[in-house]
C-alpha cells in the first residue's frame, strides 16, 4: 500500500482541510510523468486543493475545466485553448506545445468526461515527461497508472436546494456558462469562499424540466447575439473558448426557433473548422440539416455556407462548389 493510499484512507468523511491532503499530492507529483486523480464531490475541495498544489509546484502550463465536454475532440479543443495550441483543436499541435513545456503540469478539473482516457493516452505518448493532475467525481483512468486520492469518502457536500424550475434549468447549461451572469446562491456549494458550482444532484432533477429547455436556449441566445451574428461569415469576436462552442451547440440542438437553431449550428460548425476540427464541424452541420429538414431558406443557407467554408479550409474545392450549388437549390419538400 502506497503512502498516498494510506493517507487517503485516513481522510475523514465530510469537509477536510488542505494540509491533511496537500502534501501527499505534492509527493505523488514529484516524478516525471506522474499522474494524480483527486476524487471529490462538489464542495469537497478537490478543485481548490488541485489549484493550490499546482501553484506550489510552480510548473503549471495549462489548467482547464472539462465539465460539458462530450468527446475526445471536445477535450482536445478545451485543453488546446488553455495551452495556447494553434489550431486549438488539433491533437498534434497540442502535443507539440505540451512537449515544448517539458516536465510541466497539466491540471484538468472535473475530468470524468467521455474520451478522457483516449486523450490522456495519446498525450502521454506525445509528451511523456508531463505531470498530470485531475479532479472528478470518479476516476475512469487505469488506477495502476494514476495515483488516486479520495476526499471525504466521495460524499457530496451540497447546500440545500430551493425548489425552483429556474435553478433546475441551469443544470442543462454547458460548462462554465453560469459565469456569464449572476449565479443563484442555491446553486453554490457550502463553502461560500470558493463559490464552487454544485453538480451531481442536478442531473437527477433534469428530467422534469426538459420541456422548458427551449425557453432556456432562447435566454442563452440573448447573451450570444454578437456571436450569432457571424453565422453568415465574418471574423469571430476575440476571446472565444470551447465553452462558447458548447453554448452554440446547446442552442442549435434545443432552440424552438428553427432559424436561430440554424444560426447557432452554422457558428458552431465554423468555429470547429477554424479551430482545426473540420470533420467535427461538418458532422454538426449535417446533423442540423437532418434535424430541420423544413428549415426556412435563410436558415438552410447559413448552414450550407458554413459547410462550404469548411471544405475550402481543408482544400476540397470541388465539395465547396457542390455545396454552393446546393445552397441555391430548392429546399426539401415541405420546406418554407
Residue 45 belongs to some domain of the structure: yes
Contact 21, 149 (CB under 8 A): yes
Identify the CA nearest to 46 among candidates 83, 70, 15, 12. 15
Question: How high is the pLDDT of residue 222?
Answer: 84
Question: How high is the pLDDT of residue 275?
Answer: 95
Domain ranges, residue 279: 224-336
The residues facing 39 across adjacent strands are 136, 150
In the predicted structure, residue 178 carries a pLDDT above the cut 80:
no
Q: Are residues 265 and 134 in the same domain?
A: no
Q: Are residues 111 and 231 in the same domain?
A: no
- Listing DSSP states for 126-169 in one string gives HSTT-EEEEEESS--S-TTTSEEEESGGG---BPPPP--HHHHH
Residue 168 belongs to some domain of the structure: no
Residue 217 belongs to some domain of the structure: no
Residue 206 belongs to some domain of the structure: no
Question: How high is the pLDDT of residue 292?
Answer: 94
Using alpha carbons, list the distances in angstroms from residue 152 to 44, 48, 112, 113, 297. 7, 14, 18, 21, 55
Owner of C-alpha cell 488553455: 82
Report the relative pairing of strands 131-136 and 147-150 from DSSP bridges: unpaired
Question: How high is the pLDDT of residue 228?
Answer: 94
- Listing DSSP states for 194-249 in one string gives TTPBP-GGGGGGSGGGGGGHHHHHHHHHHHTHHHHGGGGSSPPPTT--HHHHHHHH
Tens digits of residue pLDDT in 224-234: 899 999 998 88
**50 Ramachandran zone, left/alpha/beta (phi>0; psi -120 to 50):** alpha
Residue 187 banded pLDDT, cuts 50, 70, 90 = very low
Identify the CA nearest to 242 among candidates 75, 122, 90. 75
Distance CA 178, CA 212 (A): 17
Q: Are residues 141 and 35 in the same domain?
A: yes
In the predicted structure, residue 1 carries a pLDDT above the cut 70:
no
Give the distance, in angstroms, between the CA of residue 116 and the centroid of all CA atoms in the same chain. Answer: 11
Cell matching residue 74:
471536445
Residue 321 belongs to some domain of the structure: yes
Residue 238 belongs to some domain of the structure: yes
Residue 10 banded pLDDT, cuts 50, 70, 90 = very low
Q: Are residues 147 and 228 in the same domain?
A: no
Domain boundary among 152, 174, 195: 152
Domain boundary among 152, 180, 211: 152
Tens digits of residue pLDDT in 119-149: 999 999 999 999 999 998 889 999 889 999 8
Report the percent of the chain where pLDDT is more than 90: 37
Q: Are residues 10 and 118 in the same domain?
A: yes
Distance CA 178, CA 113 (A): 19
Residue 172 banded pLDDT, cuts 50, 70, 90 = low
Q: Are residues 116 and 231 in the same domain?
A: no
Q: Are residues 325 and 229 in the same domain?
A: yes
Report the percent of the chain where pLDDT is more than 70: 71
Higher pLDDT, 331 or 192: 331
- Please count the other Cβ atoms lying within 10 Å of the Cβ belonging to residue 242: 29
Q: What is the pTM for the complete model shown?
A: 0.78
Domain boundary among 96, 119, 152: 152
Identify which of 27-31, 57-61, 294-298, 319-323 has the greatest average pLDDT.
294-298
Residue 22 belongs to some domain of the structure: yes
Residue 163 banded pLDDT, cuts 50, 70, 90 = very low
Residue 42 banded pLDDT, cuts 50, 70, 90 = low
The alpha carbons of the chain give a radius of gyration, in whole angstroms, of 22
CATH code of the domain covering residue 71: 3.40.50.300
Residue 336 banded pLDDT, cuts 50, 70, 90 = very low
Question: How high is the pLDDT of residue 254?
Answer: 86
Cell matching residue 196:
464552487
Cell matching residue 84:
495556447
Q: Are residues 268 and 148 in the same domain?
A: no
Q: Are residues 11 and 145 in the same domain?
A: yes
Distance CA 39, CA 53 (A): 15
Mean of per-residue pLDDT scores for the chain: 76
In the predicted structure, residue 302 carries a pLDDT above the cut 50:
yes
In the predicted structure, residue 103 carries a pLDDT above the cut 60:
yes
In the predicted structure, residue 182 carries a pLDDT above the cut 80:
no
Distance CA 94, CA 172 (A): 29
Q: Are residues 233 and 323 in the same domain?
A: yes
Q: How many domains, in total, are found in the chain? A: 2
Residue 280 belongs to some domain of the structure: yes
Q: Are residues 233 and 115 in the same domain?
A: no
Higher pLDDT, 61 or 223: 223
Amino acid at each position: 500500500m502506497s503512502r498516498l493510499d494510506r493517507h487517503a484512507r485516513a481522510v475523514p468523511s465530510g469537509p477536510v482541510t488542505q494540509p491533511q491532503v496537500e502534501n501527499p499530492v505534492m509527493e505523488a507529483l514529484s516524478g516525471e510523468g506522474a499522474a494524480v486523480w483527486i476524487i471529490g464531490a462538489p464542495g469537497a475541495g478537490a478543485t481548490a486543493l488541485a489549484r493550490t498544489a499546482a501553484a506550489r509546484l510552480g510548473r503549471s502550463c495549462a489548467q482547464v475545466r472539462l465539465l460539458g465536454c462530450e468527446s475526445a475532440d471536445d477535450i482536445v479543443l478545451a485543453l488546446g485553448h488553455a495551452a495556447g495550441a494553434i489550431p486549438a483543436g488539433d491533437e498534434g499541435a497540442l502535443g507539440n506545445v505540451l512537449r515544448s513545456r517539458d516536465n510541466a503540469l497539466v491540471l484538468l478539473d472535473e475530468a470524468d468526461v467521455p474520451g478522457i482516457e483516449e486523450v490522456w493516452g495519446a498525450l502521454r505518448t506525445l509528451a511523456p515527461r508531463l505531470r498530470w493532475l485531475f479532479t472528478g467525481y470518479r476516476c475512469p483512468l487505469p488506477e495502476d497508472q494514476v495515483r488516486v486520492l479520495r476526499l471525504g469518502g466521495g460524499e457530496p457536500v451540497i447546500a440545500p436546494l430551493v425548489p425552483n424550475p429556474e435553478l433546475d434549468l441551469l443544470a442543462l447549461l454547458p460548462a462554465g456558462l453560469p459565469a456569464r451572469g449572476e449565479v443563484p446562491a442555491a446553486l453554490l456549494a457550502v463553502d461560500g469562499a470558493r463559490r464552487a458550482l454544485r453538480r451531481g444532484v442536478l442531473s437527477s432533477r433534469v428530467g422534469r424540466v426538459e420541456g422548458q429547455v427551449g425557453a432556456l436556449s432562447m435566454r442563452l441566445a440573448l447573451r450570444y447575439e454578437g456571436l450569432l451574428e457571424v453565422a453568415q461569415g465574418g471574423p469571430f469576436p476575440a476571446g472565444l473558448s470551447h465553452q462558447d462552442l458548447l453554448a452554440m451547440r446547446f442552442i442549435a440542438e434545443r432552440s424552438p426557433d428553427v432559424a436561430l437553431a440554424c444560426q447557432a449550428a452554422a457558428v458552431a460548425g465554423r468555429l470547429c473548422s477554424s479551430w482545426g476540427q473540420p470533420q467535427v464541424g461538418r458532422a454538426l452541420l449535417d446533423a442540423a440539416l437532418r434535424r430541420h429538414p423544413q428549415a426556412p431558406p435563410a436558415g438552410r443557407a447559413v448552414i450550407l455556407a458554413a459547410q462550404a467554408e469548411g471544405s475550402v479550409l481543408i482544400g476540397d474545392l470541388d465539395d465547396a462548389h457542390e455545396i454552393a450549388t446546393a445552397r441555391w437549390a430548392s429546399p426539401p419538400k415541405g420546406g418554407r
